[in-house]
Amino acid sequence: AQRVTQPEKLLSVFKGAPVELKCNYSYSGSPELFWYVQYSRQRLQLLLRHISRESIKGFTADLNKGETSFHLKKPFAQEEDSAMYYCALGGYNFNKFYFGSGTKLNVKP
């Protein structure tokens, strides 16, 4: 069955430190992976998707099919990165998305 695991509920780092939010998925087919972000008092919104291979707000994520992972990385965290981050699994054969339980990122000054 499809499943998304985000092992960290809370991740605290200092400003300027590297950050990596982990995401592992279970799916034997060709996945579509997404990262959504929810800043305080704002709507949940798409941050990036693996197929676009973009860097958004300094964040990147590489799909590793061998490790079934889609970790979100940023070399130098900023205070404005503090938010709730959700990893989501989709695919062409899916009718819906599978969301992870989320990781709250706290960037300390």
**Using CB under 8 A as the criterion, which residues of the chain lie in contact with another protein when the complex forms?**
6, 9, 32, 34, 36, 43-46, 49, 86, 89-102
In a 13 Å sphere around the CA of 25, the CA atoms on its Cβ side amount to: 28
How many C-beta atoms lie closer than 10 Å to residue 78's C-beta? 13
Is 95 or 109 the residue whose CB approaches another protein more closely?
Answer: 95
How is residue 95 written in tokens? 């009718």
Closest approach, Cβ 76 to another protein, in A, equals: 27
Give the nearer residue to another protein in terms of CB position, either 63 or 90.
90
Task: Compute the least distance from the CB of residue 15 to another protein, in Å.
Answer: 25
Q: How far is the CB of 90 from another protein (least distance, A)?
A: 3
CB of 8 or CB of 20, closer to another protein: 8
CA-to-CA distance for 72 and 21, rounded, in angstroms?
5
15: its two tokens? 């400003």
CA-based nearest residue to 15, from 60, 74, 64, 77: 77
